[in-house]
Each structure stands twice: as structure tokens, then as C-alpha cells.
Structure 1
Amino acid sequence: MVEIYCVEDDKNILQLLVYALKNNGFEVKGFVDTKGFFEEIEKNVPSLILLDIMLPDGDGLDILQSLRTNHRTKDIPIIMITAKSSEYDKVVGLDSGADDYIVKPFGIMEIISRINALLRRVNLDTTKDILKFKSIYLDYQKRIVKVEDQSINLTYKEFELLYYLLENKNMVLSRDFILNKVWGYSYEGETRTVDVHIRSLRRKLGIGGKLIQTIRNVGYKIGETDEKKDI
């Protein structure tokens, strides 16, 4: 079971986060100050931490640095939560060792999506993240894609799109579903974004691109070819 620790001094935000995360299947513990958080983390190391930068009894960046220099906690995925939205503040947070950075106010579905993406990205079970289908080979941890042993250079979103298609092999995925999963629930773009990336992905994959099937009026899939011709 994935266990998440939330460190947030605003009790209303903390209650909302704890409630939403529990409803999405996570084990959650909330802390309004650093004292209780450090006491608990001495007993147990969570799967992921949501950490507010501005706390009443400490600075989130100092806590982040402390976690990253402790051998027990240095590899825990950490998402910083803050009201500071400047590029400089984001860079400082990420350069200090944060894995992601979310600015208040945020949508609950956005934070759930980011948590899931981060947990998948840092999953230590690398065999789970090596996906193969016919001529296509993808190693998620190493960010490698090959078609017939030839390396393929993909953009970040093209890679995520291909991974998601392979992860759901033989399943028909709607454009809306793909948009939400790959671009995130807060993304305000149109489903045409998916079509544009599919075209680019097919072109770059060459012969492997023919394995991406268009399902009329629905979306796309990677898998065994249907008896009827795909459109």
C-alpha cells in the first residue's frame, strides 16, 4: 500500500488533501507542523511526501535538504506545495531536491495525477517498466525507445504517450482519456493535441508506428490488428 505524508499548516487544505487521497486508495497521514512529521518519519518511511514550503515552525526547503541528506529518507519522492509561483522559486525548490512543484491554489485531480506520475517514475521495479510489443521496445527508467534495435528520439510527451499505449496494450483508449492521463487533468488543451502527437509518434517510430491503430470516433490503441481494417 502506498503511504503518503502531507505536511501542510493550513488545516482546511490538509483535511481536503487527506480526504481526497484516501478516497483514491492511498494511506495518508497529515501534519500541521514539522515536529509531529519528524517524530513519525523516525518510525516509518513513507512512499511519498507532500511538503508545504511555508510552515509555522520551519522552512520547507530546510526540511527538504534535511531529508535529502539522511540516508533513510534521501530517496523519498517529494512534491513541494507553495503559494510562491515565480520561476525563481520553482527552480530553487527543484534544485534543492524536490521531484515536483505545485502552486496553490491547485486542483485535487491535478495533484492526484502528479502523484501517480511521480510514483510511476520512481518505481524501483525496473522490470515492470520495460515494455515490449513486436518491434517496439521501451525502458521507462532509462527513457529508451527502440524499434528493431534502432534507438528512437522522442519528446517527453511522445515518450509518455507511447508508454501509456503500451501499458494498456490491446485496450481502446479515447482521446479524452489519453489527454487526461498523459497531459494531466488540469490541462486545458483540446483532443487535437493527442492526434498531433500520435502522427508525430507514428512518423518517428517508422515501421513500429503502424502498430498504433486508429479506432474511428473513439481514439487509439496498440495491440493485435483487428480483422477489420483500421481507419
Structure 2
Amino acid sequence: MQKSILQMAIQGKLVEQRLEEGTGEELYQQIQVEKQRLTKAGTIKKEKSLPETAEDEIPFEIPESWKWVSVGNTCTNIQYGTSQKSSQTGKMAVLRMGNLQNGKINYDSLVYSSYESDIEKYRLNCNDLLFNRTNSKELVGKTAIYKGEIPAIYAGYLVRITPILFDSDYLNYVMQSQFYWAYCQTVRSDAIGQSNINAEKLKRFFYPLPPLAEQKRIVAKLEEILPLCEKLQK
């Protein structure tokens, strides 16, 4: 049931479309302007724009007011975490792949770091997404959203994603969908005992972008419905 609801959400079938909320194309253009501003200010590095998805690559229909976009063209700060060894005590918590559970962060079993350079470089901001790039073939690609509950950095098997001018919770829900998991299974690289999805493959994940106000209504509806589904399953 949860999978079906998430699929409805990313196909524009969970909430109504409203003309006054604008379009995904308008939001996408705002994102590009903001990316250029951040690049010019030296806040982010300049990156090549990825090609837009071709008509024959579109996996399902979405509302006319939505737009197919890539993670690479709509997000920034896509970088691997610290490779330094953590310890049981230290100045700041280090989130690892085991802390990412069902789209949320579980703060049990924390380790810590006291490396000042790492704390400065990898410190998470509220609403950053974390992507698990190396894990078992069933779990590689799992994500969770950081809400700033405690100050934290993140470990090397994770990748930070910072959405630009759109709702992190919406993207996190997209990344719980069957559509997203099918992509992960297609692009993963397998080795003995583990699988990997690198940052370039993450950047090339295409997803449907609704207007911002509609994203927020989708998130609100999912946060209302999904807990009820969990209760019914228990």
C-alpha cells in the first residue's frame, strides 16, 4: 500500500494541481538562476549541466505543470563524507550508513570525530539529504533527511545532497519510491559482498519536479497517510 501511495504521489495523482501555483519549469529556471548566483559567489563549484531527459526515456506520464529534472541539475553539495576514523567520543557526531533507516535518521549507535577540518567541511545543514553509496545490493541507495536534531558530519559511505529552492522532504519521498529503487538496481556496481552507486550516477537520476507549493502539499498528505498505513500493517 505504501509503495502504491508513493507512486501516486510522484505521478501527480495524490493531490490536485492548481494553476496559481505555477509550474515545474518555472521552478527549474529559478533553480538554475540560483545555481549561477551561488557559483559566481564562490559558494559552490561550477559543474557541467546534465542533458535533459529525452522524450523516449520518460518512464511514466506526469501533469503538464510538472517537469522531469535530474538530481545533478537541481541540487548542490553532492560530495562524499569523511574518510577519517571515528571514535566513541569526540566533538561532533558522525552519521554512518546504519543511521539511515526508512527515510529518517536514527541517532542510536553514534560515533564521533574531533578533526576540525572535517567538522568544517562535512558539517550537515538542516534539510540536507544523505545518500548511501555503498551497501548490500538491497540497501545501496537508501536515503534519509537530516533535520538538525544534533550537530553532525557524515561518513565516507554517504553522499550529501542539498536541494536548491525546493522541498528536501519531497525529494526524500521520491527516493523511497519503487521508481527510484528500480533505478538504483539498474545502475549499481556489484563487488564481493557489497554494491556501489557513485555520485555521477546519483546526479543522473531523473525525477518529476512539481511546483514548490504542490511539493509541500504532497509532503503534507504523505505525512498524514503513510503513518496510518504503517499502523494498518502492524
TM interval, short-chain normalised? under 0.3
Structure number with greater CO (CA < 8 Å, separation at least 6) is 2
**Structure 1 length as normaliser, TM-score?**
0.23
Larger Rg, first or second structure (1 or 2): 1
